[in-house]
């Protein structure tokens, strides 16, 4: 069974024009997501991670956290920090399962 939808040509053109206008920035690569270019200072990162600023300074001095410098000031890209957080995540071990034979033995 085939269904057909008939729309006025003018409506189809309006829809095509609106769609084209919305897709232009996407196709040109000019669309930025809100978090793409977020850059933290030490205190902003400390707030984001819910830690003390002294912890952030220590991680910077030990080069244990991704950062760059704006002059003498350490700065942190949110996208890199999020990747770093993911790499630091401890995955749970699978549950220890006893074999059927071990469960049956007294």
Local confidence pLDDT in tens for the 106 residues of the chain: 677 777 788 888 888 888 888 887 777 766 566 656 899 999 999 999 999 999 999 999 999 999 999 999 999 999 999 999 999 999 888 888 765 555 565 5
Question: What residues contact residue 39 under an 8 Å CB cut-off, 6+ apart?
Answer: 75, 76, 77, 78
Q: Where exactly are the structural domains of the chain? A: 39-88
Q: How buried is residue 103: exposed, middle or buried, by Cβ count under 10 Å (0-12/13-18/19+)? A: exposed
3-state SS, residue 90: coil
Residue 67 tokens read as 């950062």
As a whole number of angstroms, the distance between CA 30 and CA 12 comes to 26
DSSP state of 94: P
pLDDT at 33: 61
């Amino acid at each position: 069974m085939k269904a057909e939808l008939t729309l006025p040509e003018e409506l189809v053109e309006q829809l095509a024009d609106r769609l084209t206008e919305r897709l232009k920035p996407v196709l040109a690569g000019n669309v930025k997501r809100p978090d793409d270019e977020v850059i933290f200072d030490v205190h902003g990162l400390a707030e984001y991670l819910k830690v003390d600023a002294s912890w952030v300074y220590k991680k910077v001095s030990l080069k244990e956290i991704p950062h760059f410098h704006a002059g003498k000031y350490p700065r942190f890209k949110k996208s890199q920090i999020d990747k770093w957080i993911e790499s630091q995540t401890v995955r749970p071990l699978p549950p220890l399962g006893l074999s059927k034979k071990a469960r049956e033995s007294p």
